[in-house]
Amino acid sequence: MTQLDQKKSEHLTPTECPNDAFILTKISKSGRRYFFTGETSDTETAEGLRVLAKTGYLPGDAFVFQDEHSAMAIAVHLNTLGIGGACWLAFPLTEPL
């Protein structure tokens, strides 16, 4: 089981979210906000293997992590091996977007 698969098994529904739940979000150069859905796929590029994060446009599309540590671990993974210039950030659900 990969680190991402393990974290997926910890996914919570919105009704189960503790106060310290987190989502991953990033903002493109054009200003559009994207939400990580919890799904990825691998692709070969000229630079080697990269990870494509599946995204949604609405907060309800976001995969919910039960704590900041879990969210940050996936953000680091996506920022290291992902495609695209915008960085993934762990965002607490208790703060307005």
pLDDT of 9: 46
Distance CA 92, CA 45 (A): 33
pLDDT of 14: 56
Tokens of 70: 């879990």
Tokens of 33: 């906000």
- Single pTM value for the model: 0.79
Residue 69: pLDDT band (50, 70, 90) is very high
- R_g (Cα) of the chain, nearest Å: 13
Distance CA 22, CA 25 (A): 10
Distance CA 54, CA 39 (A): 5
Residue 17 pLDDT > 80:
no
